[in-house]
Chains A and B, each alone.
Chain A
């Protein structure tokens, strides 16, 4: 199966046609952790939009109005909040529903269950390569993966950079590299008025999954200043990228600590 790339653009290249790819537009006021977001009026007709906020009641009501008034604009939605399933159904819109509940789509059973309500699920990047392939083998064109981009590690409703800067009387910033004190591990904090996302500082690269039979690749070029066509050509020609991680693909997480550790 030839996968379809859903590309979050980092510059104005979204006006180009890119083979085998669609652009995925993070929507103003409904996205978080993204530097470049779009107003609904800016995006071309029949596009995919990206809504990764956990929404409050008034936001979901306003989103419903937005979808109702712009149904011709939206071919599909990649989303996190399950309430969006409900509003698409209530409006009886023919919009492709792609669920990307970042940390919740980690088993075949879970994803199969969600597929009763959505068209496609993006497998969480929190699982190993073996787990990912096991899910893909069973669900094939009903699933996609995060192929490239920042690896999301935490989503907080709080303004974690602003609060600190205000407390310390420092100038405001909303995009900052921060280091864990003991390990020296680096994170990227990105904040907007709806909260803060913490990413791995290294960029996530899951090209080792490309040989599998699934539908969508999410490619997040939000922070890449590049020509998209050139970038894709290089990427799919397997050019080595500096400063990348394959996240949890070869790092299995522990469920329970051994008894001695647990008692500490």
Chain B
């Protein structure tokens, strides 16, 4: 089984992730999840998420991945019981106390061991398999190719590895810098990302910030050593980022499965991913411990991406008018491109824009304003319009 696993911070993001090619999503409930300050899902929203995902043959995993303090325990069992009525496909857990409650109460919840458990060797994997009947291990991002293979051989469990997105400088779960400096508990979802702050060493600005992870060049090797689930980080990310990243990895994975992936494809999708990210990325630990190339040294370097121009809400085949919700400014004469769940790429130039009252306008310049644009290719709801930057034929 090969699975592309996407983050989803709310029900809208979940739909985009699944429609753009994810096989499964991971979401957080309103408690016990490591993105405590994301919107997250109520029990009813989890039920809705599962119903939607299952209706299109996809899966939902729910994170219950905080490290427990005593104050978190009293309501935990009732929460797990509620979750077990939601038809979730698995829970992602790091604390053995949670695993024990699931086991002792025979709750029908499949356990996936969170990356917060820092599994980097086969024996640690076996601990969770043998004692808690874990079905899947989400390996630490520090796990090398050789270790992934050995863990697979020894445990024969499903292995899930992060392939894209932000990385902790620490081994995940092994950091309380946020607790120390801000009292925001990193292991209960409050991380203030101190590793991206600036420090002083011998009078000079010093940084310990990690570059992001990007495994596009190594997906095939990951499949060969036994990785089953390819996980994208980012429950706080927006729909455009999710759509672009998931779309890229979908094409890469399908290309590998169908034996049609070319070097041109890899270069093209790598360029797309680098463009949508706001930080530099590298493959990090897969081929060994990264040196200085895995880190930033000049403080926080992030750029906001403004390529996302609009979301297609509707398309009239007769008038060829697409109804679009604006996200970034665009004007008549702009060269744009549409992509979507069933549309690889369609490039066009904007010749006409109408406002909601069908008046001609020259620019869509208000966030979330509704406009109509004439587009010859048939579009669908959930398609997106962005700045045309790359052309695959340029990546030979």
CB distance from B98 to the nearest CB of A (A): 8
**CA of A22 to CA of B127, assembled, Å:** 29
Report yes or no: B292 in contact with A254, Cβ–Cβ below 8 A: no
**With contacts A158-B210, A255-B190 known, is A109 near B68, CB below 8 A?**
yes
A interface residue count range (under 10 / 10 to 19 / 20 to 34 / 35 or more): 35 or more
Q: Per-residue 0/1 for B139-156: is the Cβ within 8 Å of any A Cβ (1 yes, 0 no)?
A: 010111011001100000
**Bound state CA distance, A251 and B176, in angstroms?**
13
Which chain A residue has the least Cβ–Cβ distance from B188? A255
B175 touches A57 (CB 8 A): no
Q: Is the CB of B96 within 8 A of A180?
A: no
Stretch in contact with the other chain, from A4-12, A162-170, A227-235: A162-170
Q: Is the C-beta of A68 less than 8 angstroms from some C-beta in chain B?
A: no
Contact of A104 (CB < 8 Å), options: B67, B131, B147, B183: B67
Please name the residue on chain A nearest to B299 by beta carbon.
A181
Binding site for B on A (CB under 8 A): 54-60, 81-87, 102-104, 106-110, 112-114, 116-117, 126-127, 131, 134-135, 153-160, 162-164, 166-168, 170, 176, 178-183, 185, 187, 195, 198, 200, 248, 251-257, 261-262
A to B CB contacts below 8 Å, 11 in the list: A54-B140, A56-B121, A60-B124, A86-B124, A87-B123, A106-B187, A107-B68, A110-B97, A255-B36, A255-B66, A261-B37
Q: Min CB distance, A150 to chain B, in Å?
A: 13
Across the interface, do B176 and A153 meet the contact criterion of CB distance under 8 Å?
yes
Question: How far, in angstroms, from A46 to B29 measured CA to CA in the complex?
Answer: 48
The prevalent SS among residues of A at the interface is mixed
- B124: which of A83, A110, A182 is its contact (CB, 8 Å)? A83
Cβ-defined contact, B121 with A256, below 8 A: no
Contact residues in A for B36 (Cβ distance below 8 Å): 255-257, 262
Best-surrounded residue of B36, B66, B179, B208 (most CB of chain A within 10 A): B208
In Å, the complex CA distance between A235 and B195 comes to 34
Contact B176 A103 (CB under 8 A): yes
Among B97, B130, B176, the one with the most A-chain Cβ atoms within 10 Å of its Cβ is B176
Known contacts A54-B118, A85-B127, A109-B97, A180 near B181 by CB under 8 Å: yes
Residues of A within 8 A of B183 (CB): 251-254
Shortest beta-carbon distance from A125 to chain B in Å: 9
Q: Which of B147-183 contact A (CB under 8 A)?
A: 147, 150-151, 169-171, 173-177, 179-181, 183
Interface residues on B, range: 35 or more
Q: How far is the CA of A198 from the CA of B197 in the complex (A)?
A: 14
| Bound Cα distance from A125 to B129, whole angstroms | 28
In the assembled complex, how far is the CB of residue B240 from the closest CB belonging to chain A, in whole angstroms?
A: 20
Interface pair B175/A103, CB less than 8 Å apart: yes
* Least CB separation from B76: chain A residue: A109
Taking each of A57, A114, A117, A156, which has the highest tally of chain B beta carbons within 10 Å of its own beta carbon?
A: A57
Give the residues in chain B near A253, CB-CB below 8 Å. Answer: 179, 183-185, 188, 190
How distant is the Cα of A261 from the Cα of B37 in the complex, in angstroms?
9
CB atoms of A107 and B72 under 8 A apart: yes
Task: Select the stretch in B19-27, B199-207, B375-383 that faces chain A.
Answer: B199-207
